[in-house]
Amino acid sequence: MTVPTPNSVLNACLPMVASKSESNRALILRALAGADKIALDNLSAARDTRLLEALLQSDEEELDPQDAGTTTRFLTAWCVAANRPALITGSPRMQERPIGILVDALKALGADITYVKNEGFCPLRINGFKQVTRRVSMRGDVSSQYVSALLLIASFLDQGLELTLEGTIASRPYIDMTIEWMARFGLKVSEQNQTFTVEPQTPEPGRYAIESDWSAAGYWYSLMALRGQGELKLMYLRDESLQGDRQLADLFVELGVNSEFVEDGVVLRPGPRKEKFEADFLHISDQAQTFAVCCAGLGIPAKLTGLPSLRIKETDRIAAIQTELAKFGCEVEVIGDEAMLLPGGALDVSGQEIHTYDDHRMAMAFAPLAALGELSMDEAEVVAKSYPSFWEDWALVCPKEA
């Protein structure tokens, strides 16, 4: 598709999608607590969330989480805690994304899990569960989803859980979000020296609301940075948020976007920007693509670090960014899995086509470059994975036909 060109002066109020991260955590807790005890408002319409909701209600032995990483990991832990035999499959790409660290931890707790094809990867068969210990340790630097998956089920285990994380903890805000959502349900987590302790507990019945998605907000911040005129209002985002990607609002100040928080959301306006950019994305890895593309579009030198998890996302996001930005004349230097260096300089945008690699965040991260020139994109519908109304919202910032 050809990406519609935004207005030269932005002026729109965007409804925003509900948080997929919050929704998925709430769904697991509701499934374990009992759907009759928990009501959820403003649940995300993202494909991954709807898929998780359907799989949690399914009576089929085979559960296919498709290409959804969070869904796969949370579902695996839920099947164990619920002592629910299942064959968990996944798309070809999902079967290339590691899950061995989580499976090893679940097996240590007493889960009977076998790999159907390749060791450490889906498909996997869950045969049953009888807890043999409450103590387990795992690396903390690979994926916070493994940690969250274990914490979400911990209160429902007969012996509870003592989870020790070894080394650096990656994406810590997502772990904090998990703990906060557990607290909303009345479930307590204590932490000391990177050991999380959760006793067997019963959740409190109630009604809980999902916040709008800060991860999705980054694309609109990027568009404002690149256009540099007007204002955008993003509805129902809070300054005091559980979501780690709230940090993007502070980082975008350096790229020329100021945020004013109002009662029902946040208003974006242009401001001065710095001549170069540097940031660590270890705890907000989903924003790395957005910032890389935005810095390239602004033509400023940039250094992005803390990127190891990008290699095992929906695609190898480091390689994908490097390949796609090269089309515009931006040669990104990659240092292993740790850093991307952007040289600065003007982009040649007009007429370029973006390959999305079946990755929703590739599509949305590159869309704001349409502010600089004509741009097309294959498989633009991939945004449905996390932000199904993205192109509808995009139309709100584009010229209306006469």
- Phi, psi for 51 (deg, rounded to 5): -65, -45
Report the amino acid identity of residue 119: E
Tell me, yes or no, if 378 is annotated catalytic.
Answer: no
Sequence-distant (6+) residues with CB within 8 A of 9 are: 227, 229, 230
> How open is the CA angle 42-46-50, to the nearest 5 degrees?
85
Residue-wise DSSP of 99-167: -HHHHHHHHHHTEEEEESSSTTSS-EEEEEE----SEEEEESSS-HHHHHHHHHHHTTSTT-EEEEEES
The CA R_g of the chain, rounded to the nearest whole Å, is: 21
Tokens describing residue 3: 């990406």
Would you say 292 and 265 are in contact if contact means Cβ atoms under 8 Å apart? no
Q: Which of 48, 64, 286, 393 is catalytic?
A: 286
Rounded to an integer, what is the distance from CA 164 to the centroid of its chain?
Answer: 24
CA angle 183, 24, 38 (to 5 degrees): 55
Written as six digits, the tokens of 100 are 């061995």
Smallest Cα–Cα separation from 219: which of 44, 397, 357?
397
Structure-block tokens of residue 61 = 């032995």
Q: What's the burial of 326, exposed, middle or buried (CB within 10 Å: 0-12/13-18/19+)?
A: exposed
Nearest CA-CA partner of 109 in 81, 144, 136, 137: 136
CA 63, 67, 70 angle in degrees (round to 5)?
80
Q: List, in order, residues 6 or more apart from 320 with CB less than 8 Å away.
A: 355, 357, 359, 362
Helices (H), 155-213: 172-184
d(CA 357, CA 142): 22
User: Minimal CA–CA distance to 196: which of 156, 147, 132, 243?
Assistant: 147
**Which residues does the annotation mark as catalytic?**
286
